[in-house]
Structure 1
Amino acid sequence: MPPTARSSSEIDTLVVGGGQAGIAMSEHLSGLGVPHLVLERDRIAERWRTARWDSLVANGPAWHDRFPGLEFDGIDPDAFPGKERVADYFEAYAEKFHAPIRAGVEVKKVERNADRPGFTIETSEGILEAHRVVAATGPFQNPVIPPIAPADKDITQIHSAEYRNAGQLPEGAVLVVGAGSSGAQIADDLQRAGRKVYLSVGPHHRPPRAYRNRDFTWWLGVLGEWEAEAMKPGTEHVTIAVSGAHGGRTVDFRTLAHGGMTLVGRTKAFHDGMATFEPDLADNIAAGDANYLSLLDAADDYAARNGLDLPEEPEARRIPPDPECVTRPVEELDLAAAGVRSIIWATGFEVDFGWLNGNGLDNDGKPHHRRGIANDPGIYFLGLPWLSNRSSSFIWGVWHDAKHIADHIGKQRKYLVHDRDRKRRNMGESRRPA
């Protein structure tokens, strides 16, 4: 490991963040011979260890959700590794190529130098100088709880990032707001623990976990869906509900409801102990079904066109009957009467790049880039959703995005080397005697 910086020292490229994005970036920079340093404020892959619930597993199978250079050891390729195994995997991967990661160092501010190239970086252990900076801190930075949250001291309210297990919550029913992958999995976890659960379901996609003996990640791959460069119009606020928990099962909200969960529409407001919900539950469930069936159609078409000998699965198209909470939706809930003593907000995150001090950011503080290369030369972003395509925030996708950015850094360094060599040649010629 590099020595701890307590005074100013200069490096070529600083990578901020030692999770999957930072490790992928380091591997590609190492392969190109680019001197660099990775700073991580906690431990390698810390978010996997301590910012997830206890029962979390990867949403994709082990053969798919990994980097190309290392397989998961001792795990069936079709299984879903737990969060600790994923964190161990990234630690092992970093050791594999001796990644120059310095843990326990926080980057506090990045300032562009006014009188010379590069940046001055203030860290918790001193000052660094770098020619370029890669922000590899990922999308899960500031948990978002919407302003509609009730100001009720009798109700425990936490974000999904704080949830670990049912035992941390007071006895009683739980309202889970948000039915993407996190909300759906946490609601299921709570129900399995014996809690009464109300799940607020908004617009969502719910792909089959597997179909015709192939995981949905495989289907998205052969159908070219991972390479989509932008969301389809109108889907910007649509979440995806998928899970690898308990061996991997398709998320089916009707099945959860038939097991005792009460589904409600999008959460609208709280007032005087009452929660109100939008009358959109049936529409949201139907739209999720349409998305699910459309992938089955695309998969069947692909199998037929390519002559794939895959077992047919007609039972996958059988939709359970609507539970009462869908046919007679709850649009108003007296929280106390329903025994709801906890609310979990599975409502996503906001990025926070305040430490970049405006470098590479737009007027709203959001990254301004093209495929991770900022409009501000020398600044790069990695690990964000849709950085270059649909796969960008996933393990395998961030690896490929990192390669693109590392290649760009390598090209920029060649231009600078050419310029420096040319200046040296010119200086040599000017010193020759007449």
Structure 2
Amino acid sequence: MPVERTDTLIIGGGQAGIAMSEHLGKAGVPHLVLEKNRIAEAWRTGRWDALVANGPAWHDRFPNLGFEDSSPDEFVSKDRMARYLVDYAAMIKAPIREGVEVTEATRLPERGGFMVKTSKGEIEARRIVAATGAFQHPVIPPIIPETAAVEQIHSYHYKNPDQLPEGAVMVVGAGSSGAQIADELNRAGRKVFLSVGPHDRPPRRYRGRDFVWWLGVLGLWDKAAPVPGTEHVTISVSGAYGGRTMDFRRLAGEGVILTGLTKGYADGVLGFADDLRTNVAAGDANYRELLDMADAYVARTGLALSEEPGAREAFPDPACLTNPLSSIDLAKEGVATIIWATGFRQDFNWLKVDTFNERGAPIHQRGVAAAPDVYFLGLPWQSRRGSSFLWGVWHDAKHIADQIAIQRAYLQYDGEAAIIAAAE
């Protein structure tokens, strides 16, 4: 049986793989997309039931298709987002094969390209785009042993309050996922503790504009990637309940008990760093900085956007902030579940090329790997702040497609260089 061949093989059928397929298709580059599960699987099964997009429908989309059944300022559901990606793949006729897992990709000796082993056979490809994104394997820090008398799950596996055993819940991590889950559980009547680490905390809306609009006009979505190793910035923002600023003082006033960063465990007692006030203050400073930048923009441009002095009014400091807990006895507090909203790790073990650092992170320039004919897409801060967002990955995919087209053009040249006659 002959080995199947293609020019470019895209690994991953989520938003990154679909965006990559669109641009390669427009450039006339033969390609295939392999997805080990289903298109947009993470949106289908790797999110909690009530999750909505963190950005409004007018913004969180690809440029060539809107959410026709949603209002522009709506925060669409996770299921609607999954359906959007399925529809988009169909619209561009992306050659996606679902249920095909890549197990290994190795270089072909002497003639270039790769031999790619999959669950459905082998494929030979001239180039590979790893479009598996940033959220591959949930990470639970090794703080509490699995034998402890408390259920531990990652936020990736949380679905709804009814899924959890009765009792209080400790949520570790106050980025968008952790803060929203803590809010949902508190509204469901659970006693909730929320461990808050360093974070950015933008306003949901200010002066009649969503914060995604402000980041756009202020040029902050295009902020260049930071120094390697400092790419991850926890952002606490939410589109839930129509979209509200994620204010930790407000959450505490509604019943959530805030703590500092979770740092240790012994004999049923969970310990916290003495950094809650510092972390909340830094989040407040980030919030005010964006307000200041927005006000300066309005003053500079003369836009008719009404002032909003109430945006600078703070909720009262709750007791858990003025007198932070250093630890809690899980049993005494009735904590039956710990939800770790502590991020993900990447896994490129299947890609047998020399383009990774000592931490296993890709070495690349705007997605173009240090190793020839290898590309990455969907990484946080791949080229800019917006790289891991739906619309941001679309623009990064365009850059990679351009680089692939350039390389193909060079390889198609088969003549001699022009000979320039000497001037008479």
Distance 1:412 1:389, change over 3 A: same
Paired with 2:227 and 2:116, the residues of 1 have a C-alpha distance of: 38
Q: Which residue of 1 aligns with 2:381?
A: 386
Instruction: Give CA-to-partner distance per residue, 1:342-377, whole Å, 9 cap, x none.
Output: 000001011000010234323432111000000111
Correspondence list, 1:166-185, <5 A = 166-185=161-180
Q: Which residue of 2 aligns with 1:351?
A: 346
Report the secondary structure of 1:111's partner residue. strand
The correspondence for 1:308, drawn from 300, 303, 309, is 303
Report the secondary structure of 1:392's partner residue. helix
Instruction: Give CA-to-partner distance per residue, 1:269-298, whole Å, 9 cap, x none.
Output: 010000111111111111111100110000
Q: Which residue of 2 aligns with 1:225?
A: 220
Letter matched to residue 226 of structure 1: W
Q: Which residue of 2 aligns with 1:21?
A: 16
Q: Which residue of 1 aligns with 2:280?
A: 285
Report the secondary structure of 2:170's partner residue. strand
The correspondence for 1:422, drawn from 415, 419, 422, is 415
Instruction: Give CA-to-partner distance per residue, 1:99-149, whole Å, 9 cap, x none.
Output: 100111001100011121100000000000000000000000111111212
CA shift, 1:8, in A, is: 1.5
Correspondence list, 1:64-79, <5 A = 64-79=59-74
Give the percent of matched residue pairs that are identical in Structure 1 and Structure 2: 63
Q: Which residue of 1 aligns with 2:118?
A: 123
1:39 aligns with 2:34: yes
Report the secondary structure of 1:69's partner residue. coil
CA shift, 1:152, in A, is: 3.7
Report the secondary structure of 2:337's partner residue. strand
Paired with 1:370 and 1:176, the residues of 2 have a C-alpha distance of: 36
Letter matched to residue 188 of structure 2: A
Paired with 2:339 and 2:2, the residues of 1 have a C-alpha distance of: 44
Instruction: Give CA-to-partner distance per residue, 1:369-390, whole Å, 9 cap, x none.
Output: 0000001110000000000000
The correspondence for 1:102, drawn from 97, 111, 117, is 97
Q: Which residue of 2 aligns with 1:213?
A: 208
Correspondence list, 1:19-418, <5 A = 19-231=14-226, 238-418=233-413
Q: Which residue of 1 aligns with 2:421?
A: none
Provide the alpha-carbon RMSD of the alignment: 1.4
Report the secondary structure of 2:387's partner residue. coil
CA shift, 1:168, in A, is: 1.3
Paired with 1:322 and 1:234, the residues of 2 have a C-alpha distance of: 34
Native 8 Å contact 2:231 2:381 kept in 1: no
Letter matched to residue 384 of structure 1: L
Q: How many pairs align? A: 416
Q: TM-score with structure 1 length normalisation?
A: 0.94
Distance 1:179 1:47, change over 3 A: same
Distance 1:292 1:308, change over 3 A: same
Letter matched to residue 212 of structure 1: R
Mind listing any 5+ residue stretches in structure 1 that lack a counterpart? 1-5, 424-434
Paired with 2:228 and 2:205, the residues of 1 have a C-alpha distance of: 26
CA shift, 1:238, in A, is: 4.2
CA shift, 1:422, in A, is: 2.7
Paired with 2:283 and 2:138, the residues of 1 have a C-alpha distance of: 25
Native 8 Å contact 1:7 1:127 kept in 2: no
Distance 1:393 1:131, change over 3 A: same
Paired with 1:327 and 1:97, the residues of 2 have a C-alpha distance of: 55
Paired with 1:7 and 1:263, the residues of 2 have a C-alpha distance of: 61
Q: TM-score with structure 2 length normalisation?
A: 0.96
Report the secondary structure of 2:386's partner residue. coil
Letter matched to residue 244 of structure 2: R
Distance 1:232 1:321, change over 3 A: farther
Mean Cα displacement is larger for which, 149-158 or 31-40? 149-158
Letter matched to residue 281 of structure 2: A
